[in-house]
Every structure is written in C-alpha cells, then in structure tokens.
Amino acid sequence: MGRVLPWSEDSTPLMLAPMQGLTNRAMRAVQSEIGRPDVLFTEYVRVSAVSRKRVCASDQRESRPVAGQPPLVVQLIGHTPSALAAAAQLVQEQGVRHVNLNMGCPFGRSASGATGGAMLAAAETIPQCLRAIRQVVSGSFSVKVRSGYEDPEQIFSLLPVFEETGIDFLVLHPRTVVQKYDGAADHAITRRVVQQTVLPVIANGDVWNADQGRTLLARSGAAGLMTGRGAIADPWLFLRLRGECPDMPSPGERCREIRHYLGQLTLAYDELFCGEQQVLAKLKNVVEFFPDSCAKNWFKALRKSRSLAQFREVLADFPVREIE
C-alpha cells in the first residue's frame, strides 16, 4: 500500500514552512492567492498534557482546512505520547488529513518536558511519541526535524526510527538545534539523508530565491522543497520556482508586487486580529523580512508608521516610477 501524501507522488511539492507568529490563517490565505504553494503548514499547535485543554480554541481555529486552498498540514508540538495521539485525533475530527510533529523548533523546551527541537536531546522518547501518533492518524504523518541537537550527524541514527514507526515523509532543516538560525544550512547533509532513507525528504533552509531552490533540489535529490523566510519576503517565490514568473523582477515590478502583497495582508489581518495596533505590528513584522535594497526608504517609512491609516498611505503613495 502506497504512502498517503499531501501532494501527488509524480510532482515536486513546494511547501510554505510553518513559522510561529507568521503563518497564521490570514498569511496562508494570501500566500495561496499569490504564490499558490502546493502544501501549507500551520504554526505549531501546542499539545497540553491536560485533557480538558488538549488543544486551545484558537489553535483549533487555526488548524481547520479551508476549501479551495492547498492541502493543510497541522503541526503538533508536545512530548507526551498519549496527549499527542489525542490531539492528532482531535484535529482529524475537524477534517484534517495531514499531521506533522515538530522536532525542530529551537525554542521548544517547556517546563514539563522537552518539545520541538529539544526532543532531540531526549531521543529515547521519540519512538513512543511517533508510534502513538501513527496509530491514530489515517492520513499522512510526517516530522519536521533538525539534523541534530548538537551533533549534525544525529539525524542518521534517527532515520531507522522514522522508517520503523511508519512516518510518510520528513522535512529536514540541516542545522542543529543549538545553532538556531546561525550559520548556513548544510545541505550536504540533506543529500546524504536522501541517499540513506526510503522516505521522501523535503529540503528546508536558506532558500531565498528561485536559483537557490532549483540548485538545492538538483544537488540534493530531495522530493520537494520548503521555504519560510524566503516566501514571507516574496510570496511569488513559488511561481518563480515553477518558472511561471521572472526569477528577478525589475525594481519597479518588485515594488508593485510588495505593494499588492502588503495590501492583501492588510485586509486579511484586519479581519483576523483585534485592534489596529495588533494589525500594524503584524504588518511591520513582515516588512522586516524584505531584503530589497531598492526601496530602503519606503520600508523605513512603513516601519515608522504610527497608525494603520499612515501605513496604508505610505504603501499607496510610493512613487514606483522613480526607481524604474
């Protein structure tokens, strides 16, 4: 029997990475409209060991699939096998078909146990957690993992565990947990992992443009690609990777794209978040990801906006023709 996957097995899926505080349902809707990623991931869904508050109401709302959008993978973060299994069952009852366990977040230690990337420092707990989730998930079950806690070679000792416990695919970010986001993702490890496992491997880490993404796919042999920070800065990145729009737009076109993107986000955030200042803070957080040098003064003015009305005014009034 073949694996259940959130993409067609004869395709190369391009995935929007889960990013806490960023890939909420409003951002996912805008990314779906602009770049059309093949697969979406939720921010991590916190799993409580207390049954009456297993998954909070806001996380339940965030983890509901939306008709017309790409397949949604719900990412759980927790450390108790029975609680993780119960949470996986709960989100499935909401129509979720794809569940992922976060084993990569570098900020994932809670007061009661190791979660996220910290699970790799307590690797003896991993098999039981994976088996518990696998037993209840009828659709795809995957993990998102770093290459190790401190040792980047740790991933190779985990591959047999992943295969034996029946996960369907893995997403690999080849930094260690202690590195956080320092240094560079070592995709030579990604290539070696692809060679040493029968599981589909999704390459993740340091993909900011189409050329980097295509090179990574070619050199690693990965089944697909996941990008987070690159897509937040440029949601057209998925189209660029598919060759459906230019790899490098002109400065004027890039600014028109950004104006459209932030305009759509403003509308989506206004519906999701409570209060002007929260919407404004979320928009400024996105602006921080833009690496473009062509419009530094524009970005500075957006970040200095003191009201949503001022942000919209700066966004609308930028003279694109001056940089063309």
Catalytically active residues are 105
Nearest-angstrom CA–CA distance, 216 and 210: 10
Q: Which long-range contacts (CB under 8 A, 24 or more apart) does 282-288 make?
A: 283/311, 285/21, 285/22, 286/22, 286/232, 286/262, 287/262
Q: How many CB atoms lie under 10 A from the CB of residue 214?
A: 17
Q: Are 31 and 40 in contact (CB under 8 A)?
A: yes
Instruction: Report the candidate in 151, 231, 159, 147 with the shortest Cα–Cα distance to residue 190.
Output: 147
Q: How far is CA 299 from CA 2, 142, 165, 283, 285, in A?
A: 48, 37, 47, 11, 11
DSSP three-state, residue 208? coil
- Beta bridge partners, 53, equal none
Nearest-angstrom CA–CA distance, 69 and 79: 30
